[in-house]
Copies of this chain bind each other. A is one copy, B any other.
Amino acid sequence: MDFSFDARTTELVEVLNDFMDDHVLPAEEVFDSQLAALDDRFAWTRTPVVADLQAEARRRGLWNLFLPVGVDPDGIGGGLTNLQYAPLAEISGRSGNLGPAAMNCAAPDTGNMEVLHHFGSPEQKEKWLTPLLEGRIRSGFAMTEPAVASSDATNVETSIVRDGDHYVVNGHKWWTTGAMNPDCAIFIVMGKTDPEASRHRQQSMILVPRDTPGVEVVRPLHVFGYDDHEHGGHAELRFTDVRVPVDHLVGEEGTGFAIAQARLGPGRIHHCMRSIGVAERAVELMCRRVSSRVAFGRPLSQQGVIREWIAESRVEIEQLRLLVLKTAWLMDTVGNRGAHTEIQAIKIATPRVVQRILDRAIQAHGAGGVSQDFPLAMMSAGIRTLRLADGPDEVHKNSLAKAELARHA
C-alpha cells in the first residue's frame, strides 16, 4: 500500500495546476462576458476563450485524458489509468464550467465518447467519435424520461421500432445535458426495441443526429434557477417518428441496458472527482472570507463554530478523496464491474458531503454566498443534481445493502 502519486501523476498535477492558475481561473470572468455577448446564450463552444483554452490545453498535453489506458488500444486518450486521471479531474473541477471543457474532458461527452469507443462501429467512430475527440462537435445522452421513474430502466417508454432499413424512434426525454448548444450534433438515445424481452434485454441505444426530422429540442430545464447555459443547458427533447438508418444502432438490439451500465460507472467517478475539486474550492473561499470579515470585534475565523465548519469540511474531503482514489484503483485493477460497490459508495457519499460543505461556505459568506458574486450557489445547485443523476442515491443504497447482506449470509 502506497499513498503517494507516481511520477507521471505528480508531473501532470503540476502542469495542470499551472494551467488552471495561469489560464482557466483568470478566464472565468472573460467567459461570462463573452457568453453574455452571444446571440444564442447556450452556444458556449463559440466563445473565443473556450477555443483558446482548448488550444492551450492541447499544447500542454492535457487533452482527452479521461479515457483509461487499459481500455484504449488505439491510444486516443492520454494513456493514463483511472488512478492517474483522478487527481487531474479533481483539479479541473475547481473551475467546473471551464476546466473540464478546456481539456475535452467534460460530461456528457466523455461518457458518450466511451460508448462510441467501446461499442461503436468503425463508421460510427469515424463519423462521431473522431470529431468529439477533436472537440469539433458536442453530444447528448437521452435516457431519462419525464413520464416515468427512470432509475428503473424497465420503465423507459421511448420506442425504437425497426422499419425496413431504418429504425423509427418515438419518445419524450429530458435532462439531456449540453443539448441546448447548437454545436451539439449527436444524441445517444435509449429506447425499447423489444418490450417483451427479459427485463434487461428490452433496451437499445441508438444514434440520432440532432438535425434529424422529428427531433424537437423543446426547452431548457432549469436547476435552481440556473439554465446552465455555460455548458449547453439541459434539454427536454421530443422524438416524433424520427427515422435513422439501421446502422445507427449502437451495438446490437437488447444491449442498451448493458451499455448504460458500462457508461455510468466511469461517469460517476468523474463526477465525484470533480466534485471534490468543488469542495476544495469552497473550503478555500470560506477560509479566505472568514479571515477577512470582522464581527463583534474579531475576525469570523476566530469563531469556534466557523472553525468547526472548516475542520469538518477538511475531515470529510480527505475521506472522500481516498475512497474515490481507491475506487479508481479498483477500476484499473479488477475492472469496473469489480469496483461496482465502491462506485456506488462514492456516488452516495460524495454529492451530499460536498453539498454540505458548500452550504457551510455559503453561510460563512453571508448573503453574498447565495448570489452571483461568488460561485458557491451555482456549484451547490450543480452538486445537488448529482444526488439524482444516474439514479437517486436511494436506489444505490438499496443495492449496496443487498450486496452487504449477501456477504454475511
Contacts and interface: CB of A to CB of B under 8 A. Distances in A.
Interface in A364-409: 366-373, 377-378, 380-381, 384-385, 387-389, 392-398, 400-402, 404-405, 407-409
Given A329-B3, A404-B283, A311 B377 contact: no
Contacts of A384: 362, 370
A408 B288 contact: yes
Contact of A311 (B146, B303, B400): B400
Interface stretch (A65-73, A94-102, A131-139, A149-157): A149-157
Most chain B C-beta atoms within 10 Å of own C-beta, residue among A144, A287, A387: A287
Contacts of A37: none
B377 A225 contact: yes
B319 A371 contact: no
A349 B310 CA distance: 14
A83 B401 contact: no
Interface string A153-197: 001000000000000000000110000000000000000000000
Contacts of A381: 224-225, 370
Assembly stoichiometry (copies): 4
A5 B1 CA distance: 5
A238 interface: no
Contact of A385 (B148, B306, B330, B367): B367
A323 interface: yes
Contacts of A224: 224-226, 370, 377-378, 380-381
Given A288-B408, A306-B401, 13 more contacts: A1-B325, A2-B2, A151-B366, A152-B294, A155-B294, A224-B226, A287-B404, A290-B405, A304-B398, A312-B348, A315-B400, A322-B323, A363-B387
